[in-house]
Amino acid sequence: MKTRHFITCALLAASGSAMAQEQAESLKDCDKTQSAMNMCARHRYDLADQALNRQYTQNMKTLQEAAGKQRLRDAQGAWLVFRDKDCLVETGPREESGSIWPLQHFSCLERHTVRRTKDLKSQACGMEGCAKQ
């Protein structure tokens, strides 16, 4: 039993390593294949999502009152529902599409996420009084 578990773990580690290597290669040339385009779109969305999460956290820390924090949580939750539904309208469900769907889907998510991050930055400037750039 221990041998089977070890082999399974070794195979999972090797496949994970191979996938990471394939992703790294795909990110070097995003226009090479459809798979590469899909991976790059996912990567760009992940970066945008990380920036959004940092900005949201910063805004939450800036707010002093519990009611203000709750309003931001509610707004963010509503925005997530809107984003997902809007992208579904734009790209349709996965099962009704082809190999280009991930590219379209993650591009839509990225576009909305970048826009929301800008909105949160503007809100933070209103809370903190940011200097004009």
Q: How far apart are CA 90 and CA 13, in angstroms?
A: 36
Examine the domain organization and report whether 101 and 118 are in the same domain: yes
pLDDT at 10 over 90: no
Q: What is the CATH number of the domain that holds 108?
A: 1.20.1270.180
Sign of the alpha-carbon dihedral angle for 47, 52, 55, 57: negative
- Higher local confidence (pLDDT), 26 or 87: 87
Examine the domain organization and report whether 61 and 18 are in the same domain: no
Does residue 51 belong to any structural domain of this protein? yes
* Total structural domains within the chain: 2
Examine the domain organization and report whether 3 and 63 are in the same domain: no
Examine the domain organization and report whether 42 and 106 are in the same domain: yes
* CA 101 to the chain's CA centroid: 16
Predicted structure pTM score: 0.76
124 neighbors 59 (Cβ within 8 angstroms): yes
The number of helix segments (H) and strand segments (E) in the chain equals: 4, 0
Examine the domain organization and report whether 15 and 52 are in the same domain: no
| pLDDT at 133 (0 to 100) | 43
Examine the domain organization and report whether 25 and 56 are in the same domain: no
Examine the domain organization and report whether 107 and 119 are in the same domain: yes
Both tokens of 29, joined, read: 């040339």
Convert the pLDDT of each residue in 71-115 to its tens digit: 999 999 999 999 999 999 999 999 999 999 999 999 999 999 999
Does residue 133 belong to any structural domain of this protein? no
Examine the domain organization and report whether 12 and 51 are in the same domain: no
Q: How far apart are CA 103 and CA 90, in angstroms?
A: 12
Average per-residue pLDDT for the chain = 86
Segments forming the whole domain that contains residue 19: 1-30
Convert the pLDDT of each residue in 36-71 to its tens digit: 999 999 999 999 999 999 999 999 999 999 999 999
